[in-house]
Amino acid sequence: MKIGIDVRPLAYGITGNSRYLAESLRILLKKRKSDEFFFFSNKQIHPVFNDLLSNNNITLVIEKRMIPGPLYLNFILPSRIRNNKIDRFWGTLQMLPIFKLGI
């Protein structure tokens, strides 16, 4: 299964959202080794979370240009999800794109 995850909270260092997400991912990645994970973000992941990126079943999809979060979420992310043929998507900030994703 291809699982897409909005990892934008991991771009800001240790915050409440990023700590919750990082700890959840550490457990999830151990339990779902046969799944393929796609980490989506509009910014680089903060170095404090580099341990999460060392798993072989992770593909990091980072935007090369600066795009504000709401624009990224609603206009860029849906095409990244379609292009990578994601089966499930976890919107970690309790937000999903306004357009239907079809997943």
The residue type of 99 is F
- Are 9 and 15 contacting, i.e. CB atoms less than 8 angstroms apart? yes
Per-residue pLDDT tens for 69-98? Answer: 889 989 999 999 999 999 999 999 888 888
pTM assigned to the model: 0.91
How far apart, in whole angstroms, are the C-alpha atoms of residue 90 and residue 67?
20
Q: Pairing relation of β-strands 88-90 and 36-41?
A: unpaired
CA distance 42 to 11: 9
8-55: pLDDT as tens digits: 999 999 999 999 999 999 999 999 999 999 999 999 999 999 999 988
Of 23, 45, 34, which is closest to residue 87 (Cα–Cα)?
A: 34
